[in-house]
Chains A and B, each alone.
Chain A
Amino acid sequence: MAKAIVYLNQFFGQIGGEEVADHEPEIRNEKVGAAMLYDQLLDGEVTHTIICGDNFMGSNEEQAVDRILGFLKDKEFDIFFAGPAFQAGRYGIACGAIGKAVKEEFDVSVISSMNEENPGVKMYKKDIYIFPGGKSAAKMRDDVTKMVEFGNKILSGEKLLPAEQEGFFKRGIRHQYFLEDETPAYERAIDMLLKKINGEDFVSELPIPEIDTVEIADPIKDLSKATIALVTSGGIVPIDNPDKIQSASATRWGKYYIADVDKLKNRREESFKTIHAGYDPKAADADPNRVVPVDAMRKYEQEGKIGSLYEYFYSTVGTGTSQDEAARMGKEITQELIENNIQAVIETST
C-alpha cells in the first residue's frame, strides 16, 4: 500500500496559534489534524505527520529543512503532501521550501495547495505541484480533495494531463502533446493569424517566459594581478575527447591543462578539436584558438595586462544542452574556479 507523509504548520498540527509559531519541527507516528482527511481520501495510508511552526521555518529555514529531511531519512514514503496553506503566506512559503527539499532529496512527488495570492505560489510553483486553493480553512476539504485526487493519479501510474487540465499552477515545464482533436499546425496557424488580423483574442502556444537576470559582478580592480580562466561552450577538447563530452545535449564538461601551451594546436597535429555538433567544425578544428583564444591571452599575459591565464581551460558543448544542465555545469565549474582563487572568466560561446 502506498505511503504518504503530511506536513502541517503549528496551527493545523493542533499545537496552537501565533503564540506557538516558533514550534520546532517534529514528526509524529500518527495522523494529526488534516492528515486524517488525507488518509481518508488517499488510495494508501498516511504514516506520519510532520509539524513545524511557521516562524521557526521562516527564521531558521536551513535548520528546519535539515531536521525534517533527517526525520524522513529512514521512512518509506511514496508521496508527500504539504498544506493546504490557503492565504497564509508564511505557511505557503514553508510548504514550498520543505516540499522542494523533499522532492530533491527523495525524488518523490510533492503536492501542495495555496490560494493564488499566497507568495509561496510564485516562489515554488516550478518546484512542486501546487493546486489553487481557497482563501481560508473553510475550503480544507475541497483543497485536500483536489490534492489527493491528483496524488492518487500519480500513485496509480496513470498518465498525467497538462497542467491546465489537472488544475495545478503551471510550472514552466513544457512537453510535447498530441492534440486529441488532431488539429494540424496549419489550421492552428491560420486561425491565430486571422484572429490577430481581426483584433480578436488568441492564445499563443509558446508564451514568452520572463527573461532571467543575473546580478552584475563587480569590476576587477587590478587586472595585472588577476588570474583569468577561459571557459567555452564550443566543445574544444583533446583529440580523443577523454571526458566523453556529448556532441549535443551535453551533461559533461572537461578541464584541460594548458600551462605549457602558448597556443592550442589543432586536430591535424592530434591536439585539440571540437566535438560540438551544432556548427561546422572545420574552422575550429583547423585552429581551436578561434574558439578558445589561448594565444591572445598568452600575449596579454606576457605584456603584463593580466596577471596570468589559469592553467586549465574548461569546455562543454552548448547545442541542445538544457538550461538546467548548463546551470549545473556552470555551478560546478565556478566552484572549482573559486576554490582556485580565479578572479575572472572569459566565456566564449559559438
Chain B
Amino acid sequence: MDLENQQRVKDLTEKHGKENLVVILGGAEAEASGLACETVTNGDPTFAGPLAGVQLGLACYHILEPKIKDEVDPEVYDEQVSMMEMVLDVDEIIDEVSTYREKYSQFS
C-alpha cells in the first residue's frame, strides 16, 4: 500500500475511530491485497510508510468477498466489478486477505 494511502487510512482512523471504519480493497492480485490487508491491520510490513509499526486492527475485506458483494447493489456490482471477477483468481485473493484479517483484525 503506497505511502499516501497509508497516511489517508491513518488520518481517517484518527478522525472516525477504529471501530467505525471498514477498509474495502480492490486489488487485482492476491499478494498485494494480502499486504494491504496486513498494512491496515497489523501495520506496514515493508516498514516504509506511516503505518509501520502501527497496529490499527481495522476491519478489512476485498470487494470480491461474498459478504461485501451481498451489501452492494447488484446492478452497480455487475457494472463495476463482475468483469474483473471473471478473470481474477477470486479464491486466492479471498484466501490471502482473510488470512491476515483473521490474524490481525480486531473488528468485523
Contacts and interface: CB of A to CB of B under 8 A. Distances in A.
Interface stretch (A137-145, A269-277, A337-345): A137-145
Given A138-B31, A138-B35, A14 B52 contact: yes
Interface stretch (A33-41, A123-131, A162-170): A33-41
A116 to B, nearest CB: 20
B48 A12 contact: yes
Nearest to A31: B53
Contacts of A11: 48
Contact of B53 (A12, A36, A138, A141): A36
Interface in B47-82: 47-50, 52-53
Given A33-B52, A36-B52, A36-B53, A138 B47 contact: no
Contacts of A37: 47, 53
Contacts of A31: 53
Q: Is the interface of A mostly helix, strand, loop or mixed?
A: helix
A14 B53 CA distance: 12
Contacts of A33: 47-48, 52-53
- Interface bracket on A: 10 to 19
Interface string A25-36: 000000101111
A14 B52 CA distance: 9
Interface in B30-48: 31, 35, 45-48
Question: For B3, B46, B49, which residue has the most chain A Cβ atoms within 10 angstroms?
Answer: B46
A34 B35 contact: no
B45 A34 contact: no
Contact of A140 (B3, B31, B47): B47
A14 B45 contact: no
A138 B45 contact: yes
Interface string A14-26: 1001000000000
B87 to A, nearest CB: 23
Shortest 3 CB-CB distances between A and B: which pairs? Answer: A137-B46, A36-B53, A34-B47
23 contacts: A11-B48, A12-B46, A14-B48, A14-B50, A17-B3, A31-B53, A33-B47, A33-B48, A33-B52, A33-B53, A34-B48, A36-B52, A36-B53, A37-B47, A137-B46, A137-B47, A137-B48, A138-B31, A138-B45, A140-B45, A140-B46, A140-B47, A140-B48
Given A11-B48, A17-B3, A36-B47, 5 more contacts: A14-B48, A34-B48, A137-B46, A137-B48, A138-B35
Interface of B: 3, 31, 35, 45-50, 52-53
